């Protein structure tokens, strides 16, 4: 059942954006991104937002000043973030470590923090993370934009926009953790020394594609394309009741599958039904997976903060996915994740070099990323952990899974998704049916549940 959020009127007064540079002199050099970093699919900006309550122990301290100073100290160690990207031959991305700095905005809001502000997608993102004109490109632009907004209740919001080619969620968490250590005055900051070593994810010599990569297959089918200019975004909450309802639709041998697997299977199926894809068309779900899960062979050093992401895909005809029970989709998602190995990661890296860093398949694809354990909800600048910390919303065909506590105090996972308006209504209807167990062949009768939808 849809439960639209209350939109609290918000006015934000911003100071002029400034460039924060490293607190000390840093090396002026050129650094090369890896073949995983500079793939076309990571050439976008990702927003992260964290909400903090007032802390009596920090009375008299200004979060803007504390974080600005900590950021400058952090950039001494993470100085590539203060540089700018440029393209070398064959569109290879390089970092000019020029020390120009990252964009920083100081701001003040006219209201206190409210729970409905926390729900991704944030209805106030444009105000809490202002897009400085000319700053959102991939080449020649600041690699980070940070805005700290004070609220009248004494709380504040830390919002950040990251050029994704520089790092993944684990790398960003490491960077933010260092800022938080300096902000708290930790004497041994940084506790983890950053390591560049992007060559860990460079192509082999000679490169060779040794695994199937359905996530990069070229599909020219305009019938499955979505108009990115005609999308709305809503989020859906999966708590214990929703997960129990979905697991009840699975045979006993699959009921111990992960939350990610069952939620992904459910969303993929409902989304495909809502899009009304022709029965014989091939649809995909691509699961963003970090190579850090590969325990042997890759030798990722402690402190490495580059991208480690690949996105193996599951495939099905639309008809099979929509008609078969949920177990069918779950097993496909499990199979896709099961492709992960050292050889698979090496094969992806080599594919980037051989095929010129192609974009992932767009038509008929849905990309999901589990950030529930990314740690953004554990970044403490001295005011304690945020009441919400995570990605601020979905991006086109990419959904991020975020840990979330709803207004009832229930812990769960919230998933933002982008769809055209009429498709969104059908999607919401199908998702509601799945949690009500209507028309599912191998389901069991249980207490009806709700999916909380947040505009």
Indicate which residues carry an active-site annotation.
164, 380
CATH of the domain at 433: 3.30.559.10
Residue 198 lies in a domain: no
Residue 199 lies in a domain: no
The pLDDT of residue 454 is above 70:
no
Domain span including residue 278? 214-378+392-454
Same domain, 438 and 290: yes
Same domain, 132 and 251: no
The pLDDT of residue 120 is above 90:
no
The pLDDT of residue 354 is above 80:
yes
Same domain, 170 and 96: yes
Better-predicted residue by pLDDT, 231 or 295 = 231
Single out the residue in 190, 206, 237 at which a domain terminates.
Answer: 190
Residues 6+ apart with CB under 8 A from 320: 328
Count of structural domains, the chain: 2
- Average pLDDT score over the chain: 92
Three-state DSSP state, 126: helix
d(CA 323, CA 122) in angstroms, rounded, equals 35
Single out the residue in 190, 224, 254 at which a domain terminates.
Answer: 190
Residue 424 lies in a domain: yes
Residue 436 lies in a domain: yes
Rounded to an integer, the average pLDDT of 336-342 is 94
Same domain, 177 and 74: yes
Q: In the chain, what percentage of residues exceed pLDDT 90?
A: 85
Single out the residue in 140, 155, 190 at which a domain terminates.
Answer: 190
Same domain, 27 and 98: yes
Rounded to an integer, the average pLDDT of 427-436 is 91
**Nearest residue to 107 (alpha-carbon basis) of 74, 147, 59, 78:** 147
Residue 387 lies in a domain: no
- Are residues 167 and 72 in contact, defined by beta-carbon separation less than 8 angstroms? no
d(CA 443, CA 228) in angstroms, rounded, equals 36
Residues 6+ apart with CB under 8 A from 160: 47, 48, 49, 129, 144, 145, 146, 147, 172, 176
**Nearest residue to 316 (alpha-carbon basis) of 289, 360, 286:** 286
Q: How far is CA 31 from CA 24, 233, 339, in A?
A: 19, 37, 31
Provide the b/e sequence for 122-161 (b: ≥16 CB within 10 Å): bbbbebbbbebeeeeebeebbbbbbbbbbbeebbbbbbbb
Q: Residue 437's pLDDT band (boundaries 50, 70, 90)? A: low
Q: Residue 7's pLDDT band (boundaries 50, 70, 90)? A: low
pTM of this prediction? Answer: 0.92
Better-predicted residue by pLDDT, 449 or 26 = 26
The pLDDT of residue 452 is above 70:
no
Same domain, 105 and 218: no
Same domain, 20 and 135: yes
Same domain, 272 and 396: yes
Same domain, 275 and 316: yes
Residue 73 lies in a domain: yes
Residue 413 lies in a domain: yes
* Rounded (5°) CA angle 191-197-203: 145
Same domain, 181 and 300: no
Residue 384 lies in a domain: no
pLDDT at 446 (0 to 100): 26
Same domain, 254 and 355: yes
**pLDDT tens track for 135-152:** 999 999 999 999 999 999
Same domain, 348 and 448: yes
């Amino acid at each position: 059942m849809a439960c639209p959020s209350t939109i609290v009127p918000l006015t934000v007064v911003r100071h002029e954006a400034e460039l924060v540079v490293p607190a000390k002199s840093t090396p002026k050099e050129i650094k090369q991104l890896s073949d995983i970093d500079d793939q076309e699919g990571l050439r976008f900006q990702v927003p992260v937002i964290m909400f903090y309550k007032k802390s009596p122990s920090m009375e008299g301290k200004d979060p803007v000043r504390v974080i600005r100073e900590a950021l400058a100290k952090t950039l001494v160690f993470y100085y590539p973030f203060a540089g700018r990207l440029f393209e070398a031959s064959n569109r290879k991305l390089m970092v000019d470590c020029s020390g120009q700095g990252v964009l920083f905005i100081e701001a003040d809001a006219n209201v206190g923090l409210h729970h409905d502000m926390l729900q991704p997608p944030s209805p106030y993102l444009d105000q809490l993370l202002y897009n400085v004109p000319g700053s959102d490109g991939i080449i020649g632009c600041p690699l980070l934009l940070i805005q700290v907004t004070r609220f009248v209740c004494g709380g504040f919001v830390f919002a950040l926009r990251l050029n994704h080619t520089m790092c993944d969620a684990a790398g960003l968490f490491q960077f933010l953790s260092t800022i938080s250590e300096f902000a708290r005055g930790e004497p041994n900051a940084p506790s983890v020394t950053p390591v560049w070593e992007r060559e860990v994810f460079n192509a082999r010599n000679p490169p060779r594609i040794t695994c199937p990569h359905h996530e990069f297959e070229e599909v020219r089918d305009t019938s499955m394309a979505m108009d990115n200019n005609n999308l709305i975004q809503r989020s859906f909450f999966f708590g214990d009741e929703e997960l129990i309802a979905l697991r009840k639709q699975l045979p006993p041998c699959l009921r111990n599958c992960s939350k990610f697997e069952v939620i992904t299977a459910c969303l993929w199926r409902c989304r495909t039904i809502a899009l009304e894809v022709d029965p014989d068309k091939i649809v995909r779900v691509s699961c963003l997976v970090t190579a850090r899960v590969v325990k042997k062979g890759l030798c990722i050093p402690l402190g490495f903060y580059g991208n480690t992401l690949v996105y193996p895909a599951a495939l099905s005809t639309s008809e099979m996915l929509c008609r078969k029970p949920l177990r069918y989709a779950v097993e496909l998602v499990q199979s896709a994740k099961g492709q992960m190995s050292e050889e698979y990661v090496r094969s992806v890296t080599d594919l980037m070099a051989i095929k010129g860093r192609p974009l992932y398949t767009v038509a008929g694809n849905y990309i999901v990323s589990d950030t529930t354990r990314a740690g953004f909800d554990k970044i403490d600048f001295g005011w304690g952990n945020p009441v919400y910390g995570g990605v601020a919303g979905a991006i086109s065909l990419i959904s991020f899974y975020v840990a979330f506590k709803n207004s009832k105090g229930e812990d769960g996972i919230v998933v933002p998704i982008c769809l055209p308006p009429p498709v969104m209504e059908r999607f919401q209807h199908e998702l509601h049916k799945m949690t009500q167990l209507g028309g599912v062949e191998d389901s069991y009768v249980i207490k009806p549940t709700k999916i909380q939808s947040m505009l």
